[in-house]
Chain A
Amino acid sequence: AQKVTQAQTEISVVEKEDVTLDCVYETRDTTYYLFWYKQPPSGELVFLIRRNSFDEQNEISGRYSWNFQKSTSSFNFTITASQVVDSAVYFCALSEAAAAGNKLTFGGGTRVLVKP
């Protein structure tokens, strides 16, 4: 069965500090996809990134970067030079190719609080 664990429930930083969010997953499938979503205080869920199980290249998008390591079943997310607008709950999620439908299994989320 698929499982996603985000061990950090809340992280508090001061603006301009870097923050790394951990995500560890479990799956028996060889083909799977990992996602990160952001949920700002307004409540909506915003898609940030998708990574497939065969692509271990790290990715950078502006101040956001992602480190995917199959050897440790981790897909960590770093915000560089954090800003107050980054304050949100961040969810890591997993979808297995072999599973029926497109079932997203979410981690418990990490709340990031960026103080000015």
Chain B
Amino acid sequence: DTAVSQTPKYLVTQMGNDKSIKCEQNLGHDTMYWYKQDSKKFLKIMFSYNNKELIINETVPNRFSPKSPDKAHLNLHINSLELGDSAVYFCASSHGTSAYNEQFFGPGTRLTVL
């Protein structure tokens, strides 16, 4: 029944490793997003995809690469992890790219880089 799901929920890894976070939505939406929430709870958009096409690409290091195999999935791959990448990463989805449409968020993935 979960609308937007993310795996894993927790991810602990060493600096320099490469890791992926997966996101799936079953709401029939065509637009998906990745947000980063830092330790001070500040939320900032990273990427947005509409129908598998990149729409928003904020100032994010090249080590972060989103991939959308289809409209229902948006994965986030991170290369050469750094301490500063530790955060909670939220996936979200919406119907279309209109500013009117509310976004539905996944439960978040807490990434800890040691």
Contacting A102 at CB < 8 Å: which of B41, B94, B105, B106?
Answer: B94
Supply 26 A–B pairs (Cβ within 8 Å), ascending by A. A35-B102, A37-B105, A39-B41, A43-B107, A44-B105, A44-B107, A44-B108, A45-B90, A47-B102, A47-B103, A52-B100, A89-B41, A97-B98, A100-B56, A101-B50, A101-B55, A101-B97, A102-B33, A102-B48, A102-B94, A102-B98, A106-B42, A108-B40, A108-B41, A108-B42, A111-B41
Contacts of B106 in A (CB 8 A): 44
Decide if A96 touches B99 in the complex (CB within 8 Å). yes
Number of chain B residues whose Cβ lies closer than 8 Å to a Cβ of chain A: 30
Residue from A31, A37, A99, A106 whose CB has the most chain B CB atoms within 10 Å:
A106
On chain A, which size bracket covers the interface? 20 to 34
Decide if A106 touches B104 in the complex (CB within 8 Å). no
Q: Is B88's CB within 8 Å of the partner chain A?
A: yes
Q: Which of A11-37 touch B at CB < 8 Å?
A: 31-33, 35, 37
Decide if B41 touches A101 in the complex (CB within 8 Å). no
Q: Is B113's CB within 8 Å of the partner chain A?
A: no
Q: Which of A76-99 touch B at CB < 8 Å?
A: 89, 91, 95-97, 99
Decide if A102 touches B43 in the complex (CB within 8 Å). no
Shortest CB distance B49–A (Å): 9
Considering only CB atoms, which chain A residue lies closest to B31 in the complex?
A102
Residue from B101, B103, B107 whose CB has the most chain A CB atoms within 10 Å:
B103
Given contacts A105-B45, A106-B43, 9 further A-B contacts (CB under 8 A): A37-B105, A39-B41, A44-B108, A47-B103, A96-B99, A97-B100, A99-B99, A101-B97, A108-B41
Decide if A102 touches B104 in the complex (CB within 8 Å). no
Contacts of B45 in A (CB 8 A): 103-105
Contacting B99 at CB < 8 Å: which of A37, A44, A89, A102?
Answer: A102
